[in-house]
Amino acid sequence: MGQVDAREWWLWGFAVTVTLVLTAGIISLTFSGPHLIGNADWVNLKEWVRGLACLVLLFDIYTVYQQLQLQQIRRELIERNHLFEVITENAADMIAVTDAAGNQLYNSPAFQTVLGYSLEELKATSCVEQVHPEDRQRVLEAEQRARLTGREERLEYRMRHQNGTWRSLESVATAIRNEAGEVEKLVIVNRDITERERAEEKKNRSDQLFRSIAENSADLIAVVDNDGHRIYNNPTYERLLGYTQEELKHTISFDQIHPDDRPLVTRAAEQALKTGVGQIVEYRMQRKDGTYVTLESHGSFIRDSHGEIEASVISARDISDRRLAMENEKLSAIGQLAAGIAHEINTPVQYVSDNITFLNDIWQQLDAAMAFCTTSAHASDSGISTAVTSAGLPEDWEWLRQEVPKAISQSLEGIRRMSKILGAMRRFSHTGNGERALVDLNEALDATLTIVQNQIKHIADVQTDYQINLPRMECYADEMNQVFLNLIVNATHAIREASVKQGRDRGRLTIRTRQIDNDVQIEIQDDGTGIPLAARARIFDPFFTTKQVGEGTGQGLTVCHDIVVRKHHGNIWFDTELEHGTTFFIRIPVQFDAVTGDSK
């Protein structure tokens, strides 16, 4: 703007001077010309005067044109200045202009917004006064280099906020040169990067936390791409499986999985990629020495900026001990029931054996009687011996006619009873090969009651309230049988303890089944002692038990909770009252999606 003003003043001064000189000359010639020269020459001179006047007019017109150009340039400069003011006053970045000596010529309003200083406060201080003492020397050196070289300088430093805190700034200094090429001013653009640094620091802490957790976790943690190639494996792989990081980098994540489990894992992975939701799956993985370990795995995903899955994070836990504990719990329960089952089978076996012995003993008499009936009419012709034909009917024939049908009926009842017990044992111990199957819960509960009949029959009366036409439930049959067994045995122990305390002969065990919406609910109710208040919060904790030493391992309800909640995506809870009994509730979807856990 200063150059435009100087040019304007020079143009106007020159124009006025030339115009005055020429006008004065024209006037002088016009009034004094006829007296100084002759009339003939005066005519020619008038032509020169007219030409000179036209020249003055053209010069004036040019001067006006130049003035209009200057006005246009001035308007453009004003508009640019206005645009600069709008930009600087509304920019989130802080913009400052300093002269060659470092004096502050301009500070944008963003300084007050970001740092809290008013423009008057900034003008009253030097440009480096608010800079952190540890960064001040670097700022001065960068500013000096920008003045000397004229090149853009980038720098990060800390500046004090008016409230005394420190803000991190990213600064870019650009030199403005005069006509001589000398640096006249510096335009400094500062950006507050405090939040960005905090975000980066938070990300770094998060990365360090993840790495610390991953590298010190007892679980296996791996990151694999969508083709199954391993990107990262934590050190647990080497501790648990024996593989080094380098050995795993050159393998596909499915290579170490047991061949029989690969289809299950493949289906789970495909379903997870399709739905975007990871699922829990159990499988066996081969150690470097060739043995296998049982793992429980859960997957999650890493997505790009467009929300597309670019990698999977797989965490797996060695559950060999847990599986062993579950099997031991089941074996312990079966072991406790073995004597009762043997007794239950022994009773029908005994009277079947006695009845068969009885039938065998009287067979000779029956054989003689039948021979007498078939041969008495032809004894003389057939040559049958007199001993046979004279045998006649047995002396206790009428008694035999009554007892033999009873013996046969009792034997058939004994065989039916043994068949029922053996069938219940078969259904109870059915493994299902680790696959879900449609199960009639009413039948499963009856089978469990048959298994524990010897324990219950002397302690409690059993009442079943089953819903008719209860839908068959999709579940792991053997594991649900284990849940029913644990809860029924626990109820039996509670009833026995309450009966001893209250001096009663027997208690009551009630089992109900109901369909509620898309779920099936099982209730196992006893009139036992109830659960003490102090034990209720820990009732599902591993190895916690309220029973006497030798009666429980503390794993029964833990196993129940694991099977119902984790394996069947259901819920298990209880309602209890001291000295009045406890009811355990199990609610499981009739069919559930193994990936999301939602009811179908």
**More confident position, 160 or 542:** 160
CA nearest neighbour of 481 among 563, 400, 551: 563
**More confident position, 598 or 546:** 546
At residue 46, the pLDDT reads: 61
Euclidean distance between CA atoms 90 and 317, whole angstroms: 55
- In this structure, the chain runs to a length of 600
Range of lowest pLDDT (290-304, 420-434, 447-461): 420-434
Euclidean distance between CA atoms 362 and 381, whole angstroms: 29
Place of tokens 């079966």: 334
Does the pLDDT value for residue 538 go beyond 60? yes
At residue 387, the pLDDT reads: 45
Pairing of strands 571-577, 581-589: antiparallel
Q: Are 586 and 564 in contact (CB under 8 A)?
A: yes
Place of tokens 């369909």: 515
Q: Are 273 and 309 in contact (CB under 8 A)?
A: yes
DSSP letters of 404-435?
A: HHHHHHHHHHHHHHHHHHHHHHHHHT--GGG-
Written as six digits, the tokens of 305 are 């900026």
Euclidean distance between CA atoms 140 and 102, whole angstroms: 10
Domain boundaries 430-600, CATH class = alpha beta
Q: Which CATH superfamily is domain 92-198 in?
A: PAS domain (3.30.450.20)
Burial class of residue 193, CB neighbours in 10 A (0-12, 13-18, 19+): middle
CA 409 to chain centre: 63
pLDDT tens column, 164-213: 899 989 888 888 888 777 888 888 888 888 888 888 888 888 888 878 88
Radius of gyration of the chain (CA): 52
Does the pLDDT value for residue 430 go beyond 80? no
At residue 384, the pLDDT reads: 46
Pairing of strands 183-192, 166-177: antiparallel
At residue 380, the pLDDT reads: 47
Sheet with 220-225, strands from edge to edge, namely: 230-233, 220-225, 309-318, 292-303, 280-286
Euclidean distance between CA atoms 444 and 19, whole angstroms: 121
pLDDT > 90 fraction of the chain, expressed in percent and rounded: 11
Average pLDDT of the chain is 77
Please state, as a whole number, how many other Cβ atoms lie within 10 Å of the Cβ of residue 149. 11
Q: For 432-452, what is the mean pLDDT?
A: 80
Written as six digits, the tokens of 213 are 């957790």
At residue 428, the pLDDT reads: 61
CA nearest neighbour of 446 among 469, 430, 463: 463
Q: For 540-546, what is the mean pLDDT?
A: 70
* Contact residues for 132 (Cβ-Cβ < 8 A; gap 6+): 157, 158, 159, 160, 166
At residue 385, the pLDDT reads: 46
At residue 91, the pLDDT reads: 74
Confirm whether pTM is higher than 0.75: no
Domain boundaries, the chain: 2-87, 92-198, 217-318, 430-600
Euclidean distance between CA atoms 130 and 128, whole angstroms: 6
Note whether 92-198 and 217-318 share their fold.
yes
Place of tokens 């009045």: 580
pLDDT tens column, 479-490: 888 889 889 988
pLDDT tens column, 35-92: 545 555 555 656 666 666 676 677 667 767 766 776 777 777 777 777 767 776 777 7
Please state, as a whole number, how many other Cβ atoms lie within 10 Å of the Cβ of residue 338. 11
pLDDT tens column, 244-295: 888 887 777 778 888 888 888 888 888 787 777 777 788 888 888 988 888 8
At residue 353, the pLDDT reads: 75
pLDDT tens column, 308-367: 888 888 888 888 777 776 667 666 666 666 656 666 676 677 767 777 777 777 777 666
Name the DSSP class of 592: B
Q: For 588-597, what is the mean pLDDT?
A: 65
At residue 513, the pLDDT reads: 95
Q: For 395-422, what is the mean pLDDT?
A: 72
At residue 388, the pLDDT reads: 45
Euclidean distance between CA atoms 195 and 586, whole angstroms: 50
Does the pLDDT value for residue 594 go beyond 60? no
Domain boundaries 217-318, corresponding CATH code: 3.30.450.20
